[in-house]
Structure 1
């Protein structure tokens, strides 16, 4: 089965050995994605809801490049550095996905790769051919 890799273009993908997303058949797996702008800087510093919106936008960009979209997402995982942000993060997630309503997990982690990052989002999509 053919494998399509989607790159975000960062230097870290080849150095660490990962892809932003990988599509195999009708399934697209999107790696942990943060609120990072095109310039590599964290967007929405100090605002977990804004970071969630930006991260999901970055997930959507990868999905589209893989021939998918948010409407195909069946699973998300949200990693937050402060579980007290769960409601703001959850609302931003709900606004992005609406009635798609993927199976979702939200967990608190001790840190993300950059201290300014408050949220990281993973997604799995199944494309209905």
Structure 2
């Protein structure tokens, strides 16, 4: 029987109780919620551009995957939501800092708005823990 495990990391702010989980793992698959660059106080970053926000988000994903026993190379799928598709190269630049070799499957979607006006990018992912090592 499969068991669902919630994964947390001190480096990643937890949502208020009862809203959602940042990371859930079942049968070696980690499902990562849509992340933004909000800080520990859940404040959106003032003045941070899309590249800086994407870098913060990938850092959060890395912390959760490591807490789950995996790594960024285990990521198999990303879905990226941006408020300005013309700035997508900024996201790709940040992504190249966290992934090398074969990149995960990826969708990029432009949306009219995210949770707050200062949030420019949101990223969610799916990883197969340990897959990159075996």
TM-score, with length taken from structure 1: 0.88
Partner Cα separation in structure 2 for residue 110 and residue 43 of structure 1: 19
Distance 1:60 1:127, change over 3 A: same
Q: Which blocks of at least 5 consecutive residues in structure 1 are unaligned?
A: none
The 2-side partners of 1:9 and 1:127 are apart by 21
Q: Which residue of 1 aligns with 2:4?
A: 3
Q: Which has the higher helix share?
A: 1
Q: Name the structure 2 match of 1:34.
A: 36
- Please state how far the C-alpha of 1:50 moved relative to its aligned partner: 0.4
d(CA) in 1 for partners of 2:54, 2:46 = 9
Match 1:110 to one of 101, 109, 112: 112
TM-score by length of 2: 0.85
Task: List per-residue Cα deviations over 1:60-95 (Å, max 9, x = no partner).
Answer: 122122222211101111100111111111121122
Please report the RMSD computed on the Cα atoms of aligned residues, expressed in angstroms. Answer: 1.6
Return 5+ residue gaps in structure 2 as ranges.
none
* Aligned-pair CA distance for 1:36: 1.5
Deviation at 1:4, TM superposition (A): 0.6
